[in-house]
Amino acid sequence: MSKYMLDQILMQLKPAKVRLAKGEALFLQNDATVNFYCIITGKVKLIRNTIEGTQAVIHVALAGETFAEASIFSSEYHCSAIAVSESVIMSYRKSELLYYLEGAPDAMQGLLRVFSQQVRDLRLINEIKNIRSARDRILAFIESEMDSSREVFLNMSLKDLAYKIGLAHETFYRELKNLEKRSILKRHGNTLKLLNSIR
């Protein structure tokens, strides 16, 4: 995702393009780690089989996201990756990345920066999810993502955004509508704009 300036590092590598049908697996838990991935389009869920026999969703990765980065440092995948919808994915060899990083300490530092940024963002989303009120949660999210013109461009569906901030999509739609009705925000297409509200 360009947001993290990861491109410049990944650009140096020669990825393979993989196309997955809905429900198809990219890798399975305990497979030897060879690659890590970046989603071009689609959606992939990461699932761990627990000792109980139950399955736990570890993460749902959306377009633009990289995943299985931790696999770079382990020998086996600790979860399985299944396409939720038809997906196109770039596959990077972890060995190639490691080799490249050896010779490019700057890139390694860049990657460090990317990761620390990601940690920060995840902690923020985590915190946002602790806000009980749907309305406040939505506003907190927008405020955290908006640019100087108080707008957020959504690179995902409303449904996915609802999931991202931990709301039932119905609740999310309703609350958006509510906020529009009260002229607290405005929607055009894929952008949300926060109006100059006196909260």
Partner DNA sequence: CGAGTGATTGACTTAGATCAATGACCGTGG
Partner DNA sequence: CCACGGTCATTGATCTAAGTCAATCACTCG
CA distances from 180 to 94, 160, 183 (A): 46, 20, 5
**Whole-number minimum distance, CB 40 to a copy of itself, in Å?**
20
Task: Residue 92: name the closest of 38, 29, 32, 28 by CA.
Answer: 38
Q: Which residue lies nearer to DNA by CB, 93 or 174?
A: 174
Q: Which residue lies nearer to DNA by CB, 114 or 176?
A: 176
**Whole-number minimum distance, CB 77 to DNA, in Å?**
25
Report the alpha-carbon distance of residue 61 to residue 90 in Å, rounded: 13
Report the alpha-carbon distance of residue 191 to residue 180 in Å, rounded: 13
Answer yes or no whether residue 163 interacts with DNA by CB under 7 A: no
Backbone angles phi, psi at 176, to 5 degrees: -60, -45
**Alpha-carbon 158 to chain mean position:** 14
Q: Apex CA 117: angle with CA 113 and CA 122, to 5°?
A: 150
Answer yes or no whether residue 127 interacts with DNA by CB under 7 A: no
For the beta carbon of residue 10, count every other beta carbon within 10 angstroms: 16
Footprint on residues 10-39 left by DNA (CB under 7 A): 22
Answer yes or no whether residue 56 interacts with a copy of itself by CB under 8 A: yes
* Residue 72 interacting entry, from DNA, a copy of itself, none, C-beta within 5 to 8 Å by type: a copy of itself
* DSSP tag of 72: G
Backbone angles phi, psi at 50, to 5 degrees: -85, 170
Answer yes or no whether residue 26 interacts with a copy of itself by CB under 8 A: no
**Whole-number minimum distance, CB 73 to a copy of itself, in Å?**
4
Answer yes or no whether residue 109 interacts with DNA by CB under 7 A: no
Please give the residue ranges that form the binding site for DNA (CB under 7 A): 22, 85, 132-135, 157-160, 166-171, 173-177
Please give the residue ranges that form the binding site for a copy of itself (CB under 8 A): 50-52, 54, 56-60, 69-70, 72-73, 101-102, 105, 108-109, 111-113, 115-120, 122-127, 129-130, 140, 143-144, 150, 163, 166, 199
